[in-house]
Amino acid sequence: MSNIPSLISDLAVILTLAGIVTILFKWLKQPVVLGYIVAGILAGPSISIVPTVTTSESIQTWADIGVIFLLFALGLEFSFKKLIQIGGTAITGAITVVAGMMTLGYLTGTLLGWGQMTSIFLGGMLSMSSTTIIYKAFEDAKVGNQRFAGVVLGILIAEDLFAVLLMVLLSTLAVSKEVEGMELLSSVVRLGVFLLFCFVVGIYLIPSLLKKTRKYLNDETMLVVSIGLCLGMVLIATHAGFSSALGAFLMGSILAETVEAEHIERLIKPVKDLFGAVFFVSVGMLIDPQLLWEYKGPILLLTVVVMVGQVFFGTFGVLLSGQPLKIAIQSGFSLAQIGEFAFILASLGQSLKVTDDFLYPIVVAVSVITTFFTPYMIKAADPCVQVVERALPDSWKQFLDHYASGFNTIRQKSTWNKLLKALLRIVGTYTSVTLVLIFTWMQFVAPLILRELPGWQGNILALVIILALISPMLRAIMMKKNHSVEFQQLWQDNKFNRGPLISLIIIRILLCIGLVMIPLSRYVNLTVGFLLGIAAMIIVFIILNKKLKKQSILMERRFFTNLSAREIEQEKNAPINQRFAHHLLERDLHLADFEIHQNSPSAGKTLKELNFRQKCNVNVVTIIRGEQRINIPGGDERLYPFDKLVVVGTDSDLEQFRHYVEQRYQESIKKQQAERPKAVNLEQFIIADDSRLAGLSIQESGIRDQAKCLVIGIERGTTSIKNPPPSTVFEAGDLVWVVGEHKQVILLSEGRKI
Statement: residue 407 has pLDDT above 60: no
Statement: residue 306 has pLDDT above 80: yes
Statement: residue 155 has pLDDT above 70: yes
Fold designation for 587-675: Alpha-Beta Plaits (3.30.70)
pLDDT tier at 228, thresholds 50, 70, 90: very high
Residue 636 pLDDT: 87
Q: State residue 352 phi and psi, 5-degree precision.
A: -85, -5
pLDDT tier at 409, thresholds 50, 70, 90: very low
- Count, in order, helices (H) and strands (E) of the chain: 31, 8
Residue 104 pLDDT: 92
Q: Name the β-bridge partners of 683.
A: 738
DSSP string, 583-622: HHHTTT-EEEEEE--TT-TTTT-BHHHH-HHHHHS-EEEE
Out of 303-317, 577-591, 730-744, the most confident range is 303-317
Statement: residue 175 has pLDDT above 70: no
What's the pLDDT tens digit per position in 670-700? 777 666 667 788 888 888 888 888 888 888 8
Residue 59 pLDDT: 67
DSSP string, 529-589: HHHHHHHHHHHHHHHH-HHHHHHHHHHHHHHHHHHHHHHHHHHHH-SS-HHHHHHHHTTT-
- CA max distance for the chain: 121
More reliable by pLDDT, 414 or 386: 386
pLDDT averaged over every residue in the chain: 79
587-675 and 6-388 share a CATH fold = no
Alpha helices by DSSP H, listed for 408-497, are 415-440, 446-452, 456-479, 485-493
Average pLDDT over residues 589-606: 79
In SS3 terms, 30-91 reads as CCHHHHHHHHHHHHCCCCCCCCCCCCHHHHHHHHHHHHHHHHHHHHHHCCHHHHHHCHHHHH
pLDDT tier at 582, thresholds 50, 70, 90: very low
Q: Name the β-bridge partners of 722.
A: 713
Fold designation for 680-749: Alpha-Beta Plaits (3.30.70)
Question: CB of 381 within 8 A of CB of 334?
Answer: yes
Q: How far apart are CA 734 and CA 714, in angstroms?
A: 6
Out of 52-66, 320-334, 552-566, the most confident range is 320-334
More reliable by pLDDT, 443 or 53: 443
Alpha helices by DSSP H, listed for 177-260, are 181-212, 219-239, 244-255
Out of 106-115, 397-406, 496-505, 570-579, the most confident range is 106-115
Residue 178 pLDDT: 55
Average pLDDT over residues 132-136: 72
pLDDT > 70: what percent of the chain? 84
Distances (CA, A) of 393 to 32, 388, 398, 550, 703: 43, 10, 9, 64, 79
Out of 34-48, 154-168, 395-409, 726-740, the most confident range is 726-740
Q: How far apart are CA 142 and CA 150, in angstroms?
A: 13
Average pLDDT over residues 47-67: 68
pLDDT tier at 585, thresholds 50, 70, 90: very low
CA 743 to chain centre: 52
Average pLDDT over residues 503-512: 87
Q: State residue 429 phi and psi, 5-degree precision.
A: -65, -55
DSSP string, 328-371: HHHHHHHT----HHHHHHHHHHHHTT-S-TTHHHHHHHHHHHHH
CA 42 to chain centre: 31
Average pLDDT over residues 139-149: 71
Residue 308 pLDDT: 92
What's the pLDDT tens digit per position in 637-680? 888 888 888 888 877 788 788 888 888 877 777 777 666 667 78
pTM given for the model: 0.62
More reliable by pLDDT, 475 or 33: 475
Fold designation for 6-388: Na+/H+ antiporter like fold (1.20.1530)
pLDDT > 90: what percent of the chain? 4
Instruction: Name, in order, each residue with C-beta under 8 angstroms of 625's C-beta and a sequence gap of 6 or more.
Output: 640, 642, 643, 644
Q: What is the CA radius of gyration of the chain?
A: 34
More reliable by pLDDT, 268 or 428: 268
pLDDT tier at 410, thresholds 50, 70, 90: very low
Q: How far apart are CA 37 and CA 226, in angstroms?
A: 28
Q: How far apart are CA 279 and CA 14, in angstroms?
A: 10
| Domains of the chain by residue range | 6-388, 415-566, 587-675, 680-749
Within 10 angstroms of residue 194's Cβ, the number of other Cβ atoms is 21
Residue 312 pLDDT: 92
What's the pLDDT tens digit per position in 66-113? 778 887 887 887 766 665 555 567 778 888 888 889 889 989 999 988
* DSSP single-letter state for residue 441: I
Within 10 angstroms of residue 124's Cβ, the number of other Cβ atoms is 27
Within 10 angstroms of residue 443's Cβ, the number of other Cβ atoms is 9
Statement: residue 305 has pLDDT above 90: yes
Give which of 73, 251, 246, 85 is closest to 154, Cα–Cα: 85
Question: CB of 707 within 8 A of CB of 747?
Answer: yes
Average pLDDT over residues 363-371: 84
Q: How many residues does the chain have?
A: 754
Residue 304 pLDDT: 92
What three-state secondary structure class fits 736? strand
Instruction: Name, in order, each residue with C-beta under 8 angstroms of 511's C-beta and a sequence gap of 6 or more.
Output: 427, 431, 477
Residue 581 pLDDT: 45
